[in-house]
A and B are shown apart, each in its own frame.
Chain A
Amino acid sequence: MERQPTSEPMPTPTTTPMATPMVTPMATPTTTTTTTPVATEMITVNLSKRMGRKHTILDLRGERIVMGASGVYGVLGANGSGKSTWMRIMAGAMVATTGGVEFVTDAVPAVPTSSTSSVSVGYLPEDSFVVPELSVLEFLEFCAKLRRPDHVLTPATPATPLHEARRVMELCGLASYSETLCGKLSKGYRKRVGIAAALLYSPSVIILDEPSSDVDVSFRIFLHEIIRLMGCSSIVVVSSHLLDDMVELCDTVFILDGGRLAETVNLRVGGGVSSPLRGVQARDYLSGVYESVLRKSVGSGLASMFGGSVS
């Protein structure tokens, strides 16, 4: 089933018919620590997640959503729209009821794989996941042990977990807190530790669920810089409530509503112009689309409540 773009003007859709999978090998990634096969594309196919028998919290059946390499993708939606579920599924933390996520890697031959074990995926969960009893360094070292690429997949010996933990600590400005217990950190710093954990071993796919929540302005700026930087070499997926984040970070924004993909907005080639949208223009455009989606959703909700149409 092919999905048609719902808003005009629609840029070149990243949602494509399922019949023609895009398998595009890419060059060797720019990671410095590992040579694990890099995901060049992440394809969400026919995805859905149902809790219980009736309650479907994510319904992307019929969609084939391709996220190419070197881009920052946003997932925008109201509460309960299925953002985190989708992020979890993409990260491998949850199994979809139908469909799945395929990764196209630069390995030869380039065959899509549904296993996250063959590609490195960095993930920042929505909920805090730091272990309060561990120090920052210990926690990141623990995460690095989990994330360390398998030797069988890496011709080059990857950095030791301790070294890698120190590297991301430096990257995220946590060096001075290496011995501080995570439980003693502020919310913002815990989030910072989480982001550092997501960046371990420079994954080719980075999934950040609400990275901007609970962080101060200075770290948000810093965070945006990192995301943009990682977006140059990795597939970065960011979910957020904040339009500003989406506008500043993302090339493409997927707007979810009620578990369904309501709109796909390409901010770089959107708005009917060939040049990327920037600043207020992009914000207005995204805001307009998002508002229309929300109005439509609220309207249908009210209509179902009152038995008539709501304009």
Chain B
Amino acid sequence: MSLFPSLFSVRKFLAVYSLCIKLHGRAYSYYVVLALYGSVSGVYLSAVYFIEYRVSLYPYYLLAPFLSMVAMSFMGAGLLSHPLSKSRGGLMDYLFSSNIRWYHVIVGSYFALVSVSLPLVVITIGMLFVVASTGGVVWVLELSSLIGFVLVVLFNAALIIFSSMVVRRISASFAFALVLWFLLYTPLLLTFLLPESFLRYAYVGSIAYHYPPFLFGEQTLLNVVYFVVVPLGILLMAYYVAQLRRGFMSIGLLFVKVVSVWVIVVGSLLLPYWFVVQFDMTGRGLFRLSEPTREILNIAGTGGDVGVILLHTTPLPASIQENYTYAQQLLDRYVSYADKRGLAGSVRVSNISISGRELLPLIPGAYELEPIYTPSKGASGGGASSDAENYFGAIISYGGENIVIPNLMGKSLMERRISGVIKTLLGAGIDVPTVGVVYMGGDDHAGDGDAYTGDDHEHGSEEQDALATIWKSYLSGDFHIEWLSAMDIGDSTGNNPLFSASTTSGTSATSTTSATSGTSATSGTSGSSATSGTSTTSATSAQRNLAYDILVVVVDKGTAPSAVVSSVATYLELGGSVVLALDNVQLDGLGLSSINRNQIQLQRMQTGFEPLLASMGIVLSQGLVFDSSSLFVQVGDASGGVRSVKLPFVLNVQPTTTTALETEGVSRVVLPYASAITTSYPFGSTGVYEPYDRHGGGVVNITVTPILSSTKQSGVDISRELAIPLGKQYTNYTGASALAVKVVSAGANGANGDATGFGALYLVSDAQLWGEQFFHSADNAQLLVSILNSGAGRSKFSSGDASGDAFGGVAGGVYISPVPPKGRGVTPVRPDVYGSEGEYKLWFVVAPLLVVGFFMVMGLRRRLRRRFRAVSLLLRGSQGGRDD
């Protein structure tokens, strides 16, 4: 007996097929099942909308396989077991006496079941069109998802045929099919039975491993082969079981054949597993490496192995959370891809934590990482605090450079973020930089709204040391931190530590601060003036304090006093580099909880710097922008879920045609984030505000250059190599803005001979409300920038001094702006996605009803026709032969 059945007569297969189709088509329950499927789908999508305030097919596609399995099991559970049962045993005898073989029966039944299940796909397409009416559907991705769904339907049908053959009773067959499906869908059910090492292999063989990539537009040969070969193997098993049951085969032979079949199936899967062939249906080249990445790979790959450390933020997209190995497989494929093309040299993925990976910085010892701590306030001892909240992260030595893997669970976020910005600003060119820090707010979340007086955040020496440790890790060298109080900064009596000989009046209540450069930017004089309000006071004798290489101003909560703003503006105009870390959002007193997160209130805070920024053409969004999708789904991760340290794969450094003065030759990084930072000049321009005349006191040339800029161009986001494909609805997600502000004032800084300074606006949102995913994204941005700085060929970012045309760095501040829920009184950021609320609400109510109604009518029509026929027979008096 051969392993596979011989070729069979199509005619007999068709006879069985048509019989099964008729049996299904005449079953009233069939239409009920279809109706239920449609209505459940509609209700589910409605529920998704009402919970998440958005419409997304993605969760539906995750549910659809299960729904279809239930529906198909109901339809086909008794397909073979019923004829096999006692009551219909004669039918099988008759079939076999007609030279029908089991493969006729099985294949015919299989395709019949697939055919009658196609309405499920049609209903799904209907749902797609309903969602499409709301906008925001990426058709290429939907097509990919549909292909995946159809393949799952094929898989389900094979499974049902098998269970139908194994189990006689219809109800038992139904249950058996579902249990079997769950076991094949994910081996997690076997977690307690199987060792972890085996689980991974089991996972590779599961539906959950091969189906989700379709939803992301990834069509790999492996996945397609899986959904073709495995059902074939299942059908062959059904065939063998049938032969066994009819006495055509012994158990021993059955065992041999089953083993042989699965050897062939696994062999068929290994081939595409090793030789990766992908079809990218994302429309964004998600699974193709970009040219810059290849360049980096080329560079990195020639020096030997490149270790890749994969991290990701805690809340991963659901599908990926469930798929431990997805991210690793993705990286493996990248490596395979790169290897095959000779691009990557010997790039190898290593040190990837499969389970508990988010804990990597929490348990550094397990990964031979060096932990770093920041002590809590008042805690004794600096380096080994066991306070988990102050555990900052771990340091990985890589390529002679210390890389910090931040503790994403901790609360020392502000320090971490700022340190990242400092690094980007200073680069690696200053041996012993000095950082002046004005910290207003910090962890003091008093919420009283008081203006900071300068001593709100007193850092003890231990904390200073800890911060120094952290920042050193970024700055790869020693440096000094000098803590400055806001009171000192706002001092107008001549003791201002930022600049000397200031005669700023400092009495104005307004924050309008100006820096003038005399009459000409080229005058070469070092005179500057700081004016305040109407009392213009000359500042020609002012000199920037060169003790600080960079000034970091943190306004975490509350509003900065106008005197501080004025001083910072003056410092900036004198050529100083300033990092503004502003938080313009405050959480209300309720705090965040899972219960009231929908009712939570945010208040916009005036940081005090708004007028100054506005004078530079920088606008902080006045509206609070929330992204409800990030609450429940994945936007936080979609905008950078998988993070990588020194991982070229996850970066897509896209060159653009628009290059600013400072960014000439530097690739522009575009992040798929929404931003509250906008500029009042056309995007893409250099943004020179010239002349800039503040209060008629003089002209200052101010150049505001967006480095990390917002965009809606779908082709320039980094999503393709973030290793987390963005949700379909985020294709055109508004980009982020971080601004590098270059202030050019003529002869402002006599000490340096040039008035050129560099400032960075770093807007943070420390509202803490939607989890930390926003900050993770901000961290991502910093990582991007830091890699941009330190990566191969990026040594251009070397120094922050003002000696010439050297570029001081790039600010990586990113504000992740939550998008408002539709109808919550805030303008949506993505109207093209959200569409009309009322419209699709109506659709979701009407569509299921239409589906239900249609199939009900179909079923009733047949029933009525039969009734009518019976009546006509009675009228004709033809009753003979009928059971009375």
- A-side interface residues toward B, CB under 8 Å? 49, 51, 88, 91-95, 97, 116-117, 121, 123, 125-131, 133-134, 138, 142-143, 145-148, 150, 176-177, 179-181, 184-186, 189, 194, 197, 207
Contacts and interface: CB of A to CB of B under 8 A. Distances in A.
Interface string B68-106: 000000000000000000111111111111111000000
Interface in B1-42: 9, 11-12, 14-15, 18-19, 22-23, 26-27
29 contacts: A49-B247, A88-B97, A91-B96, A91-B97, A92-B96, A95-B246, A95-B247, A95-B248, A116-B99, A123-B94, A123-B97, A127-B86, A127-B87, A127-B93, A128-B90, A129-B88, A129-B91, A133-B26, A134-B22, A142-B18, A142-B19, A146-B12, A146-B98, A150-B9, A180-B873, A180-B882, A185-B882, A185-B883, A186-B882
Contact of B93 (A123, A143, A176): A123
Given A117-B99, A125-B97, A142-B15, 5 more contacts: A92-B99, A127-B88, A134-B22, A145-B15, A197-B94
A193 B258 CA distance: 39
B599 interface: no
The CB with the most chain A CB atoms within 10 A, among B19, B93, B99, B100, is that of B93
Nearest to A94: B247
Contacts of A129: 88-91, 93-94
Nearest to B89: A127
Given A180-B881, A185-B882, A189-B881, A131 B15 contact: no
A93 B94 contact: yes
A209 to B, nearest CB: 8
Contacts of A133: 22-23, 26-27
Contacts of A197: 94
A26 B511 CA distance: 118
Given A51-B247, A94-B96, A127-B89, A177 B881 contact: yes
B880 interface: yes
Nearest to A142: B19
A219 to B, nearest CB: 10
By size class, the interface of chain B is: 35 or more
Contact of A131 (B9, B19, B246, B873): B19
A147 B27 CA distance: 26
Nearest to B14: A145
Contact of A93 (B18, B27, B97): B97
B878 interface: yes
A143 B90 CA distance: 13
B24 to A, nearest CB: 9
A293 B15 CA distance: 45
A127 B18 CA distance: 23
Contacts of A145: 11-12, 14-15, 18
B869 interface: yes
B882 A125 contact: no
Contacts of A130: 91
Given A185-B883, A186-B882, A189-B881, A138 B247 contact: no
B78 to A, nearest CB: 13
Contacts of B87: 127-128
Nearest to A192: B881
A49 B23 CA distance: 33
Interface string B243-260: 000111000000000000
B98 to A, nearest CB: 4
Contacts of B882: 180, 184-186
Contacts of B90: 125-129, 194
B interface, over-half SS: helix
Contacts of A177: 881
B586 to A, nearest CB: 69
Contact of A92 (B15, B27, B97): B97
Nearest to A173: B881
A81 to B, nearest CB: 18
A126 B94 CA distance: 10
A96 to B, nearest CB: 9
B98 A147 contact: yes
B408 to A, nearest CB: 61
Contacts of B91: 125, 129-131
Contacts of A97: 247
A129 B873 CA distance: 25
A95 B19 CA distance: 25
Nearest to A139: B19
A185 B11 contact: no
A184 B883 CA distance: 7
A184 B869 CA distance: 13
A123 B91 CA distance: 11
A134 B94 CA distance: 16
Contacts of A116: 97, 99
What are the 6 tightest A-B residue pairs by CB atom distance, in nearest-first order? A129-B90, A127-B90, A125-B90, A123-B97, A91-B97, A146-B98
Given A94-B246, A185-B882, A186-B882, A121 B97 contact: yes
A147 B99 CA distance: 8
A186 B881 contact: yes
B103 to A, nearest CB: 14
B869 A91 contact: no
Nearest to B100: A146
Contacts of A94: 93, 96, 246-247
Contact of B94 (A143, A150, A181): A143
Interface string B379-420: 000000000000000000000000000000000000000000
Contacts of B93: 88, 91, 93-94, 123, 125-127, 129
A93 B96 contact: yes
A185 B881 contact: yes
Given A123-B97, A143-B98, A179 B869 contact: yes
A146 B14 CA distance: 10
A88 B94 CA distance: 9
Interface string B845-884: 0000000000000000000001001000100001011110
Contacts of A142: 15, 18-19
Nearest to A186: B883
A138 B88 contact: no
Nearest to B870: A184
A151 to B, nearest CB: 10
B13 to A, nearest CB: 11
A95 B93 CA distance: 11
A97 B246 CA distance: 12
Nearest to B878: A176
Contacts of B869: 179
B736 to A, nearest CB: 62
B8 to A, nearest CB: 11
B598 to A, nearest CB: 51
Most chain-A CB neighbours within 10 Å: which of B88, B93, B98? B98
A176 to B, nearest CB: 6
A16 to B, nearest CB: 26
A189 B873 CA distance: 17
A148 B98 CA distance: 9
Nearest to B24: A133
Contacts of B881: 176-177, 180, 185-186, 189
B183 to A, nearest CB: 30
Nearest to B18: A142
Looking at A117, A129, A134, A184, which has the most chain B CB atoms within 10 Å of its CB?
Answer: A129
A116 B873 CA distance: 41
Contacts of B88: 127-129
A46 B574 CA distance: 112
Contacts of A91: 93, 96-97
A184 to B, nearest CB: 6
Nearest to A127: B90
A186 B23 CA distance: 20
Nearest to A122: B97
A180 B27 CA distance: 17
B2 to A, nearest CB: 16
Given A95-B246, A146-B15, A186-B881, A138 B95 contact: no
- Most A Cβ at <10 Å: residue of B89, B91, B99, B247: B99
